[in-house]
Each structure stands twice: as structure tokens, then as C-alpha cells.
């Protein structure tokens, strides 16, 4: 079956345009309800969270209508980070969890992500079955079996307590000044609260959501504002989350920004020294820098690569029995503590490393020298496939020949937007630019 609704991270698109319409959300809810309430009883639950987008109200109501129409009981968390939905789906013994968010995308986009009863994201196979049901006839529940909906007021606090429990016993953040950029998103309340309760002096940024300013010139995709605040305030650290708080960027006291690769290198090395890194393996995607791979090899550790998407990282971790993984974009997955990427959790682990080593952030965020990497995105019209044209294929083949033995090339379609991502790594900056720009030009010519 060709999938049309679900991408690499659930369903995503522009609000009020297919597939992110209220009508489609209602059918997705009804299909998910029928899929999980497969024995006809009324004891089935769904946990629903959302970020701060204006369209979240619309999609929450539409999903609840569809879910309750097939007999599911909905527990509404309100604005909470994505990892809180994974946590509470499992702890509240729900059959399914749903997060309404488009993550790091601008406010006019939204999305629907699913978690299974174990708190992990649904498999491709489960999503394909739900998608097939959306396209078919969905049998509603009998009138007496329609589900109920209720608000859960303490979901944020349950998540906060879980986060604090992961911080090493006996450690506090007293004396540390921390800038926390919440991207005007789902963590705008919980992140500053957790840091303050652990003893930090907290400088909040991006904590005034208005429904349309999520990720706008703030957060992990725009960390420059937070970096300036770190310098202005003389802070020890900056933590930048995205709209649903499942990814993070770290800013050291000099204003330098560290991505997910550097954080994974730090944690893999520390965990290996403490004999905590299962199988001596870190799981990351094909986008992670070649420098990370070399760093791990130099320490006798292994890098297991997956295709792009934190769900694929987690699937590989579970298959291999590994407990640390993530993405260069800032998804850091620690299955000892959580079922999905958690930006604030990763930030707390970094703070713990600062306290335990007595070192400033600047000495921890530069674990390896990056191999020069260049990534460019080319937008194309929906329905087109520039990668199948002969001109683009020739350009890619030529680039691979030029990089042979000198670097690597990765061309892929985005799973969430109509973009072709062209990425290359090479020690020769001139060759790197030539290779990427050549492919980009060919894609643009046919896009």
C-alpha cells in the first residue's frame, strides 16, 4: 500500500489544508479508535497532548470527536511536551497516545503523532493499517458505547517529577545560571519550573505563546537569540528546545552552539566509561557527522546508522538492545529514562556532566572536530519527483565519483515537507560547495 497520510513522524501539513483538516483529523481519530478498541469494550483510553499552536484547539476537538465516536475514552493533557505523552500513555495504561504538534515547523503547520501502549511511537505497519481504515468505512460505536472525554490537570506535574527523578541523586543546580528557550511551545511552563526546582537561576526565553509565535525566531532552530542572552546575562549554559520539546541545542558560556552530534558524543563517552553504554553502541542517523563516527571508533565504540527520523533510531535501539541514540538535529533518546527524544532531559544530563566534572560547558560541547558538512534544501511541487529525472541522476552520479574516498553524499526527500535535502561531507571546502551546488542547481531546474 502506498502511504499518503503518514510521513516519517505521523501526519503533518499546513493547518486547514489536506491532510491537516478537521475532517481528516476526525476520520483519523475514528480509525485509531476502531483500531485500538478492537474488542468492543468501553475500557479503552487515549491520552492526548498538544503544543501551543492556534490550530491545536481545532485538531484536539476533531480527534476527540472521532475517537469517542468509536468508543474510546479520551484523557486531555493540554499543552505538554511530546515525551510527556509517551510517558503518560504508558503510566496511565492507555491504549494509545496522540501528540498534536508539528515540532519545529512554523505555527501554520500542525501534525498528529501516535504512541502505542508501551509509550513508543507506532510502527510503520500500524500506521499503514490506520491509514487504510481512514480511507474505508469506519464503524461507529453504538449510542450506549460512545466514549467520554475529560481533562487531566496534573499531566505537566507528573512529567516534571519524572524528569527530576532522572537527575543524579544528591546533585543540585545551585549557583548555575541557565537560559532556557522554550520556543513559545509546549515546554513553556514545565522547563523553567524543573530547572528552578533543581536550584538553578533561570532566565526564561520563548515562554509567551500566543498561538502563532511558536518557533518564531527562537528555539532549537533559531538559537541565536538565546545565545545572545547567555552572553548578556553571563549565564553558564543555554538550553534551546523546539516547539514540542523533543529536541535540544546546547549553548556554552561563550555563546557557541552545540548540536545533537556533540551531545551524543559526550554522553556516549561518559556512559562507556561508567559501563552504562549497552553494547558499546550509539545509534544515529545517516545525517550525523563523519567526525562523530571517527570519535567513537577512536574509543572502541560503534556507530549504528539509521534512516532519518527519531522513530527509526528508537526502533534500531530496541532491536539491538542499545540505550543511547539520537539525531544531529537534537533528538536525544535515552531509553533508560524515556521512550522518545526529550530535549529537557538531555539538557539535564548535560548539566549533570558539568557538575560532576567541574568543567564549564565550553569544555564539554567540543568532543570532536566536525568534518565540513553542507546541507541545502530544495522545495519542489507536490506530485513531482525530481530525483527520478535523468539530469538529476547524472549530477548525483558525477558528485559521488568526485567524492569517492574523500567524503560522502546523502540525497533524500524530507518526510514532512516537499523538500529534497542535499547533504555532503568533505575535508575540501571548495569541492564540498561544488558538489552540493551542482546537484541543487539540477534539482531546481526540474522542480
- Please say if 414 is a catalytic residue: no
DSSP state letters, 219-256: STT-THHHHHHHHHHT-SEEEEE-TTSS-EEEE-TTS-
- For 339, counting Cβ atoms within 10 Å of its Cβ (0-12 exposed, 13-18 middle, 19+ buried), the class is buried
d(CA 117, CA 135) in angstroms, rounded, equals 24
Distances (CA, A) of 206 to 128, 374, 443: 36, 29, 36
Nearest 5 degrees, angle CA 126-CA 128-CA 130? 70
How many CB atoms within 10 Å of residue 404?
10
d(CA 190, CA 218) in angstroms, rounded, equals 17
Nearest 5 degrees, angle CA 103-CA 342-CA 242? 35
Cβ burial 281-319 (10 Å sphere, 16+ → b, else e):
bbbbbebbbbbbbebbeeeebbbbebebbbbbbbbbbbe
- Please name the residue ranges forming H helices in 329-383: 343-357
Nearest 5 degrees, angle CA 241-CA 188-CA 347? 35
Cell numbers at 38, concatenated: 478492537
Distances (CA, A) of 124 to 3, 131, 193, 290, 299: 10, 10, 36, 28, 34
Q: Binding site residues for Mg(2+), as ranges?
A: 103, 242, 244, 246
- Coil vs helix vs strand at 408: strand
**Spatial CA neighbour of 11 closest among 93, 87, 107, 113:** 113
Catalytic residue among 103, 220, 288, 329: 103
Residues 6+ apart with CB under 8 A from 303: 281, 282, 283, 284, 288, 292, 293, 296, 297
d(CA 284, CA 373) in angstroms, rounded, equals 16
Whether the CA torsion 78, 84, 88, 94 is positive or negative: it is positive
Q: Cite the active site residues.
A: 103
Amino acid at each position: 500500500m502506498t502511504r499518503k497520510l503518514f510521513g516519517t513522524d505521523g501526519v503533518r501539513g499546513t493547518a486547514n489544508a489536506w491532510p491537516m483538516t478537521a475532517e481528516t483529523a476526525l476520520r483519523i481519530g475514528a480509525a485509531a479508535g476502531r483500531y485500538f478498541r478492537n474488542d468492543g469494550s468501553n475500557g479503552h483510553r487515549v491520552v492526548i497532548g498538544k503544543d501551543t499552536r492556534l490550530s491545536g484547539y481545532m485538531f484536539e476537538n476533531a480527534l476527540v470527536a472521532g475517537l469517542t465516536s468509536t468508543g474510546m475514552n479520551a484523557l486531555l493533557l493540554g499543552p505538554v511536551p511530546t515525551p510527556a505523552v509517551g510517558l503518560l500513555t504508558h503510566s496511565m495504561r492507555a491504549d494509545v497516545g496522540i501528540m498534536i504538534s508539528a515540532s519545529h515547523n512554523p505555527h501554520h503547520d500542525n501534525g498528529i503523532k501516535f504512541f502505542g501502549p508501551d509509550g513508543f511511537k507506532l510502527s510503520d505497519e500500524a500506521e499503514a493499517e490506520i491509514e487504510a481504515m481512514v480511507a474505508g468505512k469506519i464503524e461507529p460505536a453504538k449510542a450506549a458505547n460512545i466514549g467520554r472525554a475529560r481533562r487531566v490537570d496534573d499531566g505537566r506535574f507528573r512529567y516534571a517529577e519524572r524528569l527530576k527523578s532522572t537527575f543524579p541523586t544528591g546533585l543540585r543546580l545551585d549557583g548555575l545560571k541557565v537560559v532556557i528557550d522554550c520556543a513559545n511551545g509546549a515546554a513553556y511552563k514545565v522547563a523553567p519550573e524543573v530547572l528552578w526546582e533543581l536550584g538553578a537561576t533561570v532566565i526564561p526565553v520563548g515562554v509567551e505563546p500566543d498561538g502563532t509565535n511558536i518557533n518564531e525566531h527562537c528555539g532549537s532552530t533559531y538559537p541565536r537569540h538565546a545565545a545572545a542572552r547567555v552572553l548578556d546575562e553571563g549565564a553558564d549554559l543555554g538550553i534551546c528546545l523546539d516547539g514540542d520539546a523533543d529536541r535540544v541545542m546546547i549553548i556554552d558560556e561563550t555563546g557557541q552552539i552545540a548540536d545533537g552530534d556533540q551531545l551524543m558524543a559526550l554522553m556516549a563517552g561518559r556512559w562507556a566509561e561508567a559501563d552504562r553504554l549497552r553494547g558499546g553502541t550509539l545509534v544515529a542517523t545517516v545525517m550525523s557527522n563523519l567526525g562523530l563516527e571517527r570519535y567513537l571508533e577512536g574509543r572502541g565504540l560503534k556507530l549504528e546508522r539509521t534512516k532519518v527520523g527519531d522513530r527509526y533510531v528508537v526502533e534500531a535501539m530496541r532491536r539491538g538492545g542499545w540505550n543511547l541514540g539520537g539525531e544531529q538535529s537534537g533528538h536525544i533518546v535515552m531509553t533508560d529514562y524515556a521512550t522518545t527524544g526529550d530535549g529537557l532531559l538531555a539538557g539535564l544530563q548535560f548539566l549533570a556532566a558539568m557538575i560532576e566534572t567541574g568543567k564549564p560547558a565550553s569544555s564539554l560541547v567540543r568532543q570532536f572536530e566536525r568534518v565540513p558538512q553542507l546541507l541545502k534544501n530544495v522545495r519542489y511541487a507536490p506530485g513531482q519527483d525530481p530525483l527520478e529525472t535523468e539530469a538529476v541522476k547524472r549530477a548525483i552520479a558525477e558528485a559521488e565519483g568526485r567524492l569517492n574516498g574523500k567524503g560522502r553524499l546523502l540525497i533524500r526527500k524530507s518526510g514532512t515537507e516537499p523538500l529534497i535535502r542535499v547533504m555532503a561531507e568533505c575535508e575540501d571546502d571548495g569541492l564540498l560547495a561544488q558538489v552540493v551546488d551542482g546537484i541543487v542547481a539540477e534539482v531546481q531546474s526540474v522542480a
